[in-house]
């Protein structure tokens, strides 16, 4: 079976990634920092439903030593990685005049630096085992759309997009593809229906052309497609999954 390593297994998108990749026949490793229960519940369900092999690893993507250890643990269990999904990240608000060094580091350490070193380690694993693998980076439409009080968050996501494109060129000689998925507002299944009647929710969705948030499982299914042979010519590309929000102005940040 092919193997996928998903960071941020307990976040909004992570459990859907575990479900969809296991349903597609992948053995699944998933990392968590604080969301152990949510990650391990999703992995347990994947084992029971699809008979795949799973592994949970704990680590802080803001710490390079944790990233190196997590990749060692995945290698010890599975050997080669066929697909790596950089899903771990942080959402936060800051503005230019009041942002602190701590605010700055929050985005740099997890979103920017963490994604870089995960890409590096995934690529080294794939090259070592001769795998023409796929690295998928989860970013945000903040990388191109200007939202209020999102300067540092947007900058970190824009950095991921540029790293994706540069890495796709560097790794092409090895047959390794690198792509990013660009969500907008995303929530767990049922969130859209639960909050449909609330004013703040209506204010947001009224500005999104498709009129709703995305759900994690939709993004996960796109990731499975991008990892597969049907997407074999796709690299260095950005797949926007924000209901068209990047094409309009006035979507609340």
Active site residue 240: no
Quote the CA–CA distance of 175 and 233 in Å, as a whole number. Answer: 10
26, 153, 185, 201: which one is catalytic?
153
Cα separation values, 94 from 58, 62, 103, 156, 253, Å: 28, 19, 7, 12, 11
Token readout for 50 is 């699809």
Question: Would strands 27-32 and 54-58 be described as parallel, antiparallel, or unpaired?
Answer: parallel
Q: Which residues, in sequence order, are CB contacts of 171 under 8 Å at separation 6+?
A: 123, 135, 177, 178
Quote the CA–CA distance of 184 and 208 in Å, as a whole number. Answer: 9
Any idea which residues carry the catalytic annotation?
153
């Amino acid at each position: 079976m092919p193997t996928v390593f998903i960071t941020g297994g307990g976040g909004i998108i992570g459990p859907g990634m575990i479900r969809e990749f296991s349903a597609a026949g992948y053995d699944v490793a998933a990392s968590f920092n604080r969301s152990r229960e949510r990650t391990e519940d999703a992995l347990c369900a994947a084992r029971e439903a699809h008979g795949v092999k799973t592994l949970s690893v704990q680590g802080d993507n803001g710490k390079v030593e944790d990233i190196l250890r997590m990749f060692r643990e995945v290698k010890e269990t599975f050997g080669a990685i066929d697909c790596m999904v950089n899903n771990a990240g942080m959402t936060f608000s800051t503005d230019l005049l009041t942002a602190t060094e701590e605010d700055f580091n929050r985005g740099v350490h997890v979103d920017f630096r963490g994604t870089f070193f995960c890409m590096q380690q995934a690529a080294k694993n794939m090259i070592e085992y001769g795998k023409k693998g796929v690295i998928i980076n989860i970013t945000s439409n903040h990388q191109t759309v200007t939202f209020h009080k999102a300067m540092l968050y947007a900058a970190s996501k824009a950095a991921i997009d540029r790293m994706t494109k540069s890495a796709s060129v560097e790794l092409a000689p090895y047959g390794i593809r690198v792509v990013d998925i660009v969500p907008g507002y995303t929530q767990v299944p049922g969130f859209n229906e639960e909050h449909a009647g609330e004013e703040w929710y209506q204010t947001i969705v009224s500005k999104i052309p498709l009129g709703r948030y995305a759900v994690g499982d939709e993004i996960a299914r796109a990731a499975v497609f991008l990892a597969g042979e049907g997407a074999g010519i796709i690299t260095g590309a950005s797949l926007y999954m924000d209901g068209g929000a990047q094409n309009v102005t006035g979507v609340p940040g």
